[in-house]
Amino acid sequence: MADVYRRCGCRDETGRQLGKQCPKLADSKHGTWGFYISAGVDPITGKRTQIRQSGFRTQKEAQKARNEAAVKLDRGTYTAPSRERYGAYLLRWLERHRTTGRGLKESTMVNYRRYVELDIAPSLLGRLQLTEIRRFHVNAFVQQLVDDGRGATTVRRIAAVVQGSLRSAAEENLIDHNPASGIKLPRVEKKEFEAWEPEQVGHFLDVAAGHRLAPLFELAMFTGMRRGELVGLRWADVDLTRRQLSVRNNRVQAGKVVVENAPKTKAGRRTIDLDDRSIGALISWKLAQQAEADAWSDAYTPSGYVFTYEDGRPLLPQYASRLFEKLRIAAGLPKLTFHGQRHENASLLLASGTDVAVVAKRLGHSSVSVTGDIYSHLIGSASRQAAEDAAALVPPRKTGAHTEHTQPA
């Protein structure tokens, strides 16, 4: 059974609501429309249940909503309206992710919480009731982020939180669909990495040689390891005899806390062969670190990490980045981040003619195509040089059979 009705909030002198008996309902603009549908008997309580919604401006709107609800009820897809605000649901969603451990790392959770608390929850979108959200609301939220000058990458990350949370709400039957699917997102412009010239790399390492942590940058430039992999490297994972090191630990900053975990992909857990210069840097560093341990005596912390402060404590990831920037400025070199040293290593390998598959394996990329996408502009020049080198291996023809454009006038 289903019906639509019109009522208002007027009350009599006793304070009782008049409902359908209000004389002002003769005016078609007075009051609002609603509907109710009989939803059968609750199997748990045994009581008859009804679906009710009100607040529609016209009878036509109420009838349309009633018909849609009736179809969903027949299909078993009807979701009862919830008064919960989206911002409140987001906090519950975050907490569930944190406690159930659904594959999100602590550093990712810190970023998610920052996006929720600073960007999504305080916005108009966050103040809407969960069941009120429509796709145009989400698109308007994304556009506002763009208008506020947020970068395309950041906007897409915030939007990913919105999409993921609303997808979970739909899976929980709190809403009947995900209104964030198919939203418009800003395009991330691909920027080609501008590498330092080999001479500039050499100059930087000469300047860095004046600091006790110079071997950290030698290893960064010649292995292409990530910052977290370098500051998380332990001596147990270094084999100086075999001239190899194993990447098994990643030490990253999650807000004010440092967390450690294994590399996020199977390809990231890799073994890297070391060159003579890297081996020399590690041997000299091991001796210097032992001298520091002797000098600090009982106050020294034998942490087992390769790169440490003078007292043996492992480096904070942010300290490594700040030190790199300080040395770069001292060397008078163009702008480059600590992570840029990883790209620098890739450019040196490709410029030397190293096969892209080898570069991908050393960097820990999941596939060669990832390496190709990132360094396509470098692979092109390396490919041309490889073609020239291959042709140079073949002796020139002894006959005069040259192409026309090589003949003398």
Q: How far apart are the first and last CA of the chain?
A: 98
| Amino acid 354: pLDDT | 85
Report the C-alpha gap between 307 and 213 in whole angstroms.
8
* DSSP state string for 96-118: HHHHHT-S--HHHHHHHHHHIII
Highest mean pLDDT among 57-66, 246-255, 279-288: 279-288
Q: What is the DSSP string of 25-83?
A: GGSTTSSEEEEEEEEEE-TTT--EEEEEEEEESSHHHHHHHHHHHHHHHHHT-------
Which pLDDT band holds residue 275 (cuts at 50, 70, 90)?
very high
Mean pLDDT (whole number) for 260-278: 89
Residue type, 4: V
- Whether the pLDDT of residue 168 is over 60: the answer is yes
Domains of the chain in start order, with CATH, are 2-75 (no CATH), 86-171 (1.10.150.130), 198-390 (1.10.443.10)
Give me the residue label for tokens 């451990």.
101
Cα–Cα nearest to 111, from 148, 147, 164 = 164
CB 306 within 8 A of CB 247: no
- Output the pLDDT for position 160: 93
Q: Nearest to residue 195, comparing CAs of 332, 325, 334, 331?
A: 334
156 vs 158: CA distance, rounded Å: 5
46 pLDDT higher than 80: no
Identify the band that residue 237 occupies on the pLDDT scale cut at 50, 70 and 90: very high
Q: What is the pLDDT of residue 276?
A: 93
Average pLDDT over residues 322-336: 96
Q: Which residues contact 227 (CB under 8 A, 6 or more apart)?
A: 220, 317, 320, 321, 338, 339
| pLDDT over 70 at 293, yes or no | yes
Specify the pTM. 0.64
